[in-house]
């Protein structure tokens, strides 16, 4: 529960700055919409998990104005932001709820953009979604894989080793599930005709500090933050810039995984 509260608090605090810094999440939403373009316009009941400020909700509405949509998020500030983005729309029911356990109604499509990397019980949650889908219904999501922020993880390890730290800290992204694991979990939950894609993209920032600030502005930071010793932080930035910097920029890898699966 503590992790879930941390996730909620991180994103809620950044509801106002999220959209300005969420370029990768927008790209993920585009990929997800492209993957489901044959299906989205034809469905009548859609459940969106983790709507955040409404980036995907808005695109869903553009693609299908007739469907009844339930859009939920953990936090009220995010749901309010999404609601403002879409404006009055009697076809969308907004909810503040934990998408891992909320299982009411029957849907033709369950969708989530850039959310499932934060699931705390993915196997049980996929089983809940399987039950909530009508026969032939579709689950489609984008998520981030464990290669996300690999430069940050490697620089942190190098910095901690260089300072002879006994415990080498990990970043949350190292624990994200990979494509194979998602394929296994989907099949275990009963889904078939599963299609998964994986893509590595690189985004650049002028400095490591700019990258960390931008990450913080999206709320996608450690739900259980630990205070970093200032010397570790300094060594991390030096390791990142000397190990990966080129032409005055530092690269940041995102591993984007998209999945579409049928009941
Ligand atoms: C990276 S944001 C993505 C927001 C939005 N889907 C988008 O495309 O911009 C992740 C969102 O998932 C929400 N979230 C994370 N875990 C959740 C859960 N268990 N139930 C509902 N929402 C959740 C967070 O509150 C946050 O708004």
The pLDDT tens digits for 158-167 are 999 999 888 8
Is the minimum distance from the CB of 33 to ligand 1 under 6 angstroms?
Answer: no
Is the minimum distance from the CB of 86 to ligand 1 under 6 angstroms?
Answer: no
Structurally, how many domains does the chain consist of? 1
218-232 mean pLDDT: 81
Is the minimum distance from the CB of 11 to ligand 1 under 6 angstroms?
Answer: yes
42-49 mean pLDDT: 97
pLDDT value of position 263: 97
The residue ranking higher by pLDDT, 218 or 142, is 142
Q: For residue 120, report the distance from its CA to the centre of ligand 1, in Å.
A: 13
Q: Is the pLDDT of residue 249 over 80?
A: yes
| Domain range for 163 | 2-262
Q: For residue 211, report the distance from its CA to the centre of ligand 1, in Å.
A: 21
The residue ranking higher by pLDDT, 237 or 20, is 237
Question: CATH number for the domain including 137?
Answer: 3.40.50.150
Which of 13, 118, 214 is the best mutation target for the ligand 1 pocket, counting ligand atoms within 8 Å of the beta carbon and taking the most? 118
Q: Is the pLDDT of residue 1 over 70?
A: no
Indicate whether this model's pTM tops 0.85.
yes
Is the minimum distance from the CB of 94 to ligand 1 under 6 angstroms?
Answer: no
Is the minimum distance from the CB of 254 to ligand 1 under 6 angstroms?
Answer: no
Is the minimum distance from the CB of 60 to ligand 1 under 6 angstroms?
Answer: no
Is the minimum distance from the CB of 50 to ligand 1 under 6 angstroms?
Answer: yes
What does the pLDDT look like over 127-170, one tens digit per residue?
A: 999 999 999 999 999 999 999 999 999 999 999 999 988 888 88
Which of 22, 30, 73 is the best mutation target for the ligand 1 pocket, counting ligand atoms within 8 Å of the beta carbon and taking the most? 73
229-237 mean pLDDT: 92
Per-residue H/E/C for the chain: CHHHHHHHHHHHHCCCCHHHHCHHHHHHHHHHHHHCCCCHHHCCEEEEECCCCCHHHHHHHHHCCCCEEEEEECCHHHHHHHHHHHCCCCCEEEEECCCCCCCCCCEEEEEEECCHHHCCCHHHHHHHHHHHEEEEEEEEEEEECCCCCHHHHHHHHHHHHHCCCCCCCCCHHHHCCCHHHHHHHHHHCCCEEEEEEEEEEEEEECCHHHHHHHHHHHCCCCCCCCCCCHHHHHHHHHHHHHHHCECCEEEEEEEEEEEEEEC
pLDDT value of position 225: 75
């Amino acid at each position: 529960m503590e992790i879930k509260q941390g996730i909620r608090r991180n994103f809620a605090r950044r509801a106002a700055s999220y959209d300005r810094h969420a370029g990768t999440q927008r790209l993920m939403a585009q990929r997800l919409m492209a993957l489901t373009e044959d299906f989205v316009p034809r469905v009548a009941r859609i459940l969106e998990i983790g709507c955040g400020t409404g980036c995907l909700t808005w695109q869903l509405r553009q693609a299908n104005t007739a469907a009844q949509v339930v859009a939920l998020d953990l936090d009220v500030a995010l749901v309010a932001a999404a609601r403002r983005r879409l404006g009055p729309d009697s076809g969308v029911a907004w909810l503040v709820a934990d998408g891992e356990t909320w299982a009411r109604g029957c849907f033709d499509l369950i969708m989530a953009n850039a959310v499932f990397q934060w699931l705390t019980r993915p196997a049980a949650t996929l089983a809940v979604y399987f039950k909530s889908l009508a026969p032939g219904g579709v689950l489609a999501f984008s998520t981030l894989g464990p290669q996300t922020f690999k430069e940050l993880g490697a620089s942190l390890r190098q910095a901690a080793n260089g300072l002879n730290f006994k415990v080498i800290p990990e970043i949350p992204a190292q624990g994200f599930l990979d494509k194979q694991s998602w394929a296994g979990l989907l099949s275990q939950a009963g889904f078939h005709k599963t299609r998964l894609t994986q893509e590595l993209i690189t985004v650049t920032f002028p400095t490591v500090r700019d990258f960390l600030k931008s990450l913080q502005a999206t709320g996608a930071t450690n739900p259980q933050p630990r205070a970093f010793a200032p010397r570790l932080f300094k060594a991390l930035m030096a390791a990142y810039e000397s190990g990966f910097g080129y032409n005055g920029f530092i690269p940041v890898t995102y591993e984007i995984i998209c999945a579409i699966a049928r009941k």
